Amino acid sequence: MKSRFAVLCVLFAISSATLAMSQAAAPAKPTFASVLDQRLSQTEKTVVPAAEAMPDDKFAFAPTQGEFKGVRTFGDEVKHMAVANYAIGAGILGEKRPAEAGEGPNGPDNLKSKAEIVKFLKDSFVYAHKAINSVNETNILESIKSPFGSNMTTRLALSISIISHPYDHYGQMVEYLRMNGIVPPASRN
């Protein structure tokens, strides 16, 4: 009888410990902000290393042969992504676009070096994460003013834009990197 009781106690202890471990290991319930932030992090982990891969002396590169008249330079592509992050982030937050974003679609003209431009991009992602993390169950579908024109939109629509817009320009960055003999970081290994 004592041995059966001891076995039952051991089995109870093991099952209690297993249950406690499985509950402790269970991830937190996802939120709109956590899901959107994870996707934004993936975007950031793709485009920032691509920006960092281009040598400083090639940030002014733009193709000249073929139908490339008037295209942005590599540096302008990176700055444009950052400006969009600031503009869309401000829309999500219901704020004015931060002054550091500059006035035009390619950011401040005084940013010329790779170090300055990459910092500008990284700082814009900090702001974008702040914006995404303000999205919740009560405001995600609220009608808000678009940062582009007088249209109305939602935080969900802007969140999708802030995650996807950089990929529009990442394609050009990849092309510019390859034209300069550089394999984009996401394509290595």
pLDDT computed for residue 23 by the predictor? 56
The two tokens of residue 23 are: 């509950």
pLDDT computed for residue 11 by the predictor? 41
Q: Please, is 138 exposed, middle or buried when counting C-beta atoms within 10 Å of its C-beta (0-12, 13-18, 19+)?
A: exposed
pLDDT 10s digit of each residue in the chain, 189 long?
555 544 444 444 455 555 555 555 667 899 999 999 999 999 999 999 999 999 999 999 998 887 888 899 999 999 999 999 999 999 999 999 988 888 889 999 999 999 999 999 999 999 999 999 999 999 999 999 999 989 999 999 999 999 999 999 999 999 999 999 999 999 987
pLDDT computed for residue 104 by the predictor? 87
pLDDT computed for residue 26 by the predictor? 65
Which amino acid, one-letter code, is at 35?
V
Q: How far is CA 172 from CA 40, 152, 176, in A?
A: 19, 30, 6
Q: Domains in the chain, please, with CATH?
A: 31-187 (1.20.120.450)
Which H helix or E strand runs over 153?
Answer: strand 152-154
Q: Are 51 and 73 in contact (CB under 8 A)?
A: no
Backbone phi, psi, residue 60, to 5°: -90, 5
CA torsion sign for 99, 103, 109, 113 is positive
Give Cα 156 distance to the centre of its chain. Answer: 15
Q: How far is CA 146 from CA 91, 143, 171, in A?
A: 6, 9, 25
Q: Report helix angle 74-93 to 114-132, nearest 10.
A: 20
pLDDT computed for residue 100 by the predictor? 87
CB atoms inside a 10 Å sphere around CB 95: 13
pLDDT computed for residue 9 by the predictor? 43
pLDDT computed for residue 154 by the predictor? 97
DSSP at 27: P
